[in-house]
Each structure stands twice: as C-alpha cells, then as structure tokens.
C-alpha cells in the first residue's frame, strides 16, 4: 500500500487518543494528581509519557479541577472538563473515558484506539505504550493491559482468618522453574479499540492481551507512603527511565535562580581573626552565567543569609541578588512576577531543606549531587557537579542546550 493510501486509511479509522482521567478529589493522598515525583506533577508525568509515544495522536486530560487542568495544558495536553457527577468517589474511570470520547466526537474527533493512562503510575515507559498500541492496531487483541510477571504464592483468608492457597496447593512447594507465571495488573495503562469499549462500556472485552512491563515501572501511588517511595525511586532509577519532557539532558527554562552556599560554593567558609569570611567558587561558573546573560536569560542569587561575600559574587557575575530573605518562596514569587517569567519556566537549584519551598514552586527543581535527601527527592534534575566545583556551569550548559535545535546538536 502506498504511503498516501495508508494515510487516508488511518484518517478514516480515526485517531489514537490517550485519555488521562484526573479528578481533584483524593482521600488517600490529598491533591494527588498535582503532587510531584522527581520534581514533576503526576499528571504532568502521564502527559509527558503519552506525548513521547510516537503512535499517539492526541493527549487529553479529563478533570473537574482547575489546577489539574492548568498543569495538564502546561505539559501539552488538551483538557476536557469533567462534570461533577462523574468526579465523585463512586464515579468510575469508564464513565470519564466515555464522556471524553463523546466530547471529542462532538468536535469532530473520531477515536479508533483508546489509550487509558493513570497518573498514579509515575514511571510509564512510552516504549511499552507503543508495543501495546501495536498489538491492538494489528488486530492481535481488542484490549491489552500492562502487567508484571509474578511467580508469587497467593493466599486468601476467610472470616475466621484461616488462610488457603489461591494459585497453588498449600501441601506442595514447586520450584519457580516448575511453575507457570501469573500476571499482576500494574494499573498504569490500558489500550483498546474505542468502538469495542463503547459497546462493552468496560476496559476488558473481546480478546484481552497482556503487555509485560519492567517491575521498576509498576509502582502505583495510592498512599502517602507509596508517594514517598516514588520520590526516592525517581532519583535512584532516573538513568533507566525516559526523559520527562524536553531534549535529553537539557533544562528547558527561561530563567535561573540559585541558592548561594552549597551551590556557588562548596558549602564551607574560611574566617580570619576579624570574622571576615572567604569562600571557594568555580571560575567556570562565571563563564556559564555570562553565557546565560548573553542569551537573555535572567539570573537571580537567592540567599537567607546577609553576607558581603554574596553581594561581591553577584556584582562579579552581574546578576540580581536577594539576601537576608526569611521567606525564600515569597521572594522567588515576587522576583518572577517582576521579571515576567512564569514559575513553571524557572530553574531553581538548591542543596538544603530551606530550598524545598522554592523547589516545589518551579517547573525545573534542580539539586546538586550532595544535597539533602529531601532536596534530591524533590528534584527533577540532579546535577553531576558539586557546588563550588562547576555546578552552576553545568546548569547553565543544560539550560542553553535546550535553546539549540536538535539538528544543530547532532552536527
């Protein structure tokens, strides 16, 4: 079939549409869908995974919540307003999916393949989504779901607490290699023919298939403990995961804000007999900041301490400085408003717990590698260079990299 004919056939069939239901109410984890893992709101991570999937034509977030909608649009999704009667605790995901399909159809968008993603699974791999879509598109299955292989012995308990084997005879303990595997749903995604879903009104219908995914991508967040685990996991396995938005290694920010101690310095100071302090900084940081200024990117040093060293370094770098600030978050908000830069486009790099409020405000929370564990968990990017050893230069290089077209980077 020629390319032109193939395009006509695909258009006739309709689009591959990813839908992410994300309501505002959540009892287990309040405001769950906008809580951050690896510095990125959960709904943003789901949108980014869908947008990174080559075979998905459209990404839609169904929500009843203005903040979730704003975050979803910021990450590049279309938003469909979810009626209140479909957003309560008893409302099903299926009802939100059907409502979204109907809303899209009213605007002329016909859906051939529906990709249902859940924002509570923060580590969805676009390659797995592509495999799942391929299995539905080529007719192998009508519906597929993500799962991990398990050889676990499952048990149930009756009202009296007596346990009985579910998938095995309790009197025998066969070796792993002598047993058939079972598959455990991860809840991350489901892919299905949209017409079949409309008829069944359920995600499992017709020939149901399994897409086996890596265990590291199977974490699902329903409790605060699981959210904390995901935060730690994000920094620990970041090299194994797909980049969340932007070009690999880049920081797509239009303004840079840094802490001083532990970022521009190695977090140590030498004092003389009169109490005057000297600190160690990296000369390469100065070149990095100069390149940011030349690119028209505003830079601010934000410090809780008042110290002549900070003022002198800011003058040397020719950047804004605000020090002696008790509320760093309020100062950051004020500076961003004065500069005309949305917080979602700010990169903030810090190292200690007094930076957490700022890290949770910006679109690009960044940490130095020896930062406090809570800062590392809040970061979207962890630098490889330490404070005073080129951390600011690395940050500037990565911000500037996002300004260079991919084609030029490859030459």
Collect contacts of 322-328 with beta carbons under 8 A, ≥24 apart.
323/260, 328/302, 328/304, 328/354, 328/355, 328/357, 328/358
Q: CB neighbours of 259 closer than 8 A, spacing ≥ 6?
A: 301, 302, 303, 349, 350, 351, 352, 355
* Residue 145, number of CB atoms within 10 A of its CB: 23
* pLDDT tens for the chain, residues 1 to 411: 344 433 434 444 799 999 999 999 887 789 999 999 988 999 999 999 999 999 999 999 999 999 999 999 999 999 999 999 898 888 899 999 999 999 999 999 999 999 999 999 999 999 999 999 999 999 999 999 999 998 888 899 999 999 998 888 888 888 888 788 889 999 999 999 999 999 999 999 999 999 999 988 888 999 999 988 888 887 666 555 565 655 557 899 999 999 999 999 999 988 878 778 888 999 999 999 999 999 999 999 999 988 899 999 999 999 999 999 999 999 999 999 999 999 999 999 999 999 999 999 999 999 999 999 999 989 999 999 999 999 999 999 999 998 865 444 434
Mention every residue, 6+ apart, whose C-beta is less than 8 A from residue 327.
none
Tally Cβ neighbours within 10 Å of residue 354: 17
> pTM of the prediction?
0.81
Helix 283-294 crosses helix 391-401 at what angle (to 10 degrees)? 30
236-273 per-residue burial string, b: 16 or more CB within 10 A, e: under 16: eeeeebbebbbeeebbbbbbbbbbbbbbbbbbeeeeee
Q: What is the 3-state secondary structure (H, E, C) of 227-254?
A: HHHHHHHHHHCHHHCCCCCCCCCCCCCC
> How many degrees, rounded to 5, is the angle at CA 250 between CA 258 and CA 316?
35
Q: How many residues does the chain have?
A: 411
Write out the two tokens for 227. Answer: 């959210």
């Amino acid at each position: 079939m020629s390319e032109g004919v193939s395009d006509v056939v695909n258009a006739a069939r309709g689009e591959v549409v990813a839908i992410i239901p994300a309501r505002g109410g959540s009892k287990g984890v309040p405001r769950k869908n906008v809580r951050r893992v690896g510095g990125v709101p959960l709904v943003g991570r789901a949108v980014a995974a869908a947008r990174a999937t080559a075979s998905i034509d459209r990404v839609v977030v169904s929500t009843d919540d203005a903040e979730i909608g704003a975050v979803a649009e910021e990450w590049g999704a279309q938003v469909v307003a979810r009626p209140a009667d479909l957003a309560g605790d008893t409302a099903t995901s299926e009802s939100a999916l059907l409502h979204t399909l109907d809303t899209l159809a009213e605007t002329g968008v016909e859906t051939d393949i529906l990709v249902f993603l859940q924002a509570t699974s923060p580590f969805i791999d676009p390659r797995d989504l592509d495999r799942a879509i391929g299995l539905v598109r080529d007719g192998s299955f009508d519906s597929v779901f993500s799962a991990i292989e398990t050889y676990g012995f499952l048990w149930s308990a009756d009202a009296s607490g007596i346990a009985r084997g579910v998938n095995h005879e309790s009197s025998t303990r066969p070796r792993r290699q002598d047993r058939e595997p079972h598959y455990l749903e991860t809840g991350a995604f489901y892919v299905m023919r949209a017409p079949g879903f409309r008829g069944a009104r359920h995600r499992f219908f017709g020939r149901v298939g399994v897409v086996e995914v890596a265990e590291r991508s199977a974490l699902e967040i329903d409790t605060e403990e699981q959210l904390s685990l995901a935060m730690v996991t994000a920094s620990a396995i970041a090299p194994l995961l797909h980049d969340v938005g932007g070009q690999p290694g880049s920081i797509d920010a239009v303004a840079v804000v840094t802490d001083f101690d532990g970022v521009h310095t190695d977090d140590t100071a030498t004092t003389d007999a009169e109490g005057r302090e000297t600190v160690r900084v990296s000369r390469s940081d100065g070149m990095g900041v100069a390149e940011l200024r030349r690119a028209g990117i505003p830079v601010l040093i934000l410090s809780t301490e008042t110290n002549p060293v900070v003022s002198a370094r800011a003058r040397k770098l020719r950047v804004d400085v605000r020090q002696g600030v008790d509320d760093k978050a309020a100062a950051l908000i004020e500076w961003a408003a004065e500069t005309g830069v949305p917080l979602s486009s700010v990169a903030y790099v810090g190292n200690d717990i007094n930076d957490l409020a700022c890290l949770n405000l910006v679109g690009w929370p960044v940490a130095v590698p020896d930062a406090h564990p809570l800062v590392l968990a809040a970061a979207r990017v962890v630098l490889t260079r330490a404070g005073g050893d080129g951390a600011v230069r690395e940050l500037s290089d990565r911000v500037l990299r996002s300004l260079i077209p991919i084609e030029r980077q490859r030459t």
